Amino acid sequence: MNIENAQVQMRKGILEFCILHIISRGEVYASDMLDELTSARIMVVEGTLYPLLTRLKNAGLLDYKWVESTSGPPRKYYLLTELGRTSLDALNETWQELSDSVNHIIGRTEQHKKPANGVTADLPNNPTDSSTNA
C-alpha cells in the first residue's frame, strides 16, 4: 500500500464536501477558498480547484456572480444553489455516519492496544490465541 497515495485519495474524497461547506457561509472568492483549504491542510492548487468548481456548477450545486473590483478585473464569487444546500445536508449526514463508524473502529483498536489490566487482550477467534486452537 502506498501511504502517500492513500492520504491524497482521502483528502480528494472530502474536498467537494469541504468546498460546499465553505461556500455555504456566503458568497466566496476562489482564492479565499484556496487559503482556507490550504490552512486546513486539505491541499489544493488552482489547477485542482477551478475544474472542481466548474463541475459543481455544471451539476447545479453552485452558481457564481461577477463583482467589480476596485483593484483589478471583476471577481467571480461562488454561492450555493438550493440543490447545493440540499446536497450538503445529505453529505453532512453521510459524514456524521462515516465519522462515527471510523471513530468506533479506531476506539476499539485503541482499547485492544491499551488494555486496563496491562495484558494484551486477544480478540475472539484470534489465531494466535492458543486456548482457541487446542
Q: The domain spanning residue 42 has which CATH number?
A: 1.10.10.10
What are the residue ranges of helices labelled H in the chain? 3-24, 30-39, 46-58, 82-113, 130-133
Residue 100 maps to a domain = yes
Task: State the total domains in the chain.
Answer: 1
pLDDT tens for each residue of 83-123: 999 999 999 999 999 999 999 999 999 888 875 655 555 55
pTM for the full predicted model: 0.76
The distance in angstroms from the start CA to the end CA of the chain is 34
- State pLDDT tens for residues 51-74: 999 999 999 999 999 999 899 999
- For residue 132, pLDDT beyond 50: no
Q: What is the pLDDT of residues 16-46, one digit of tens each?
A: 999 999 999 999 999 999 999 999 988 778 8
Query: Torsion angle of alpha carbons 16, 18, 21, 26, nearest 10°?
Result: -90
User: Does the residue 118 lie in any domain?
Assistant: no
Does any domain span residue 127?
Answer: no
Find the angle CA(60)-CA(53)-CA(79) to the nearest 5 degrees: 60
Range of the domain at 12: 3-111
Secondary structure of residue 43 in the 3-state scheme: coil
Q: Is residue 21 part of a domain?
A: yes
Instruction: Report the 10 Å Cβ neighbour count for 81.
Output: 16
For residue 78, being part of any structural domain is answered with: yes
- Tell me which residue has cell 482457541: 132
Cβ-count burial 87-123 (b if 16+ within 10 Å, e if not): bbeeeeeeeeeeeeeeeeeeeeeeeeeeeeeeeeeee
The grid coordinates listed for 66 are: 461577477
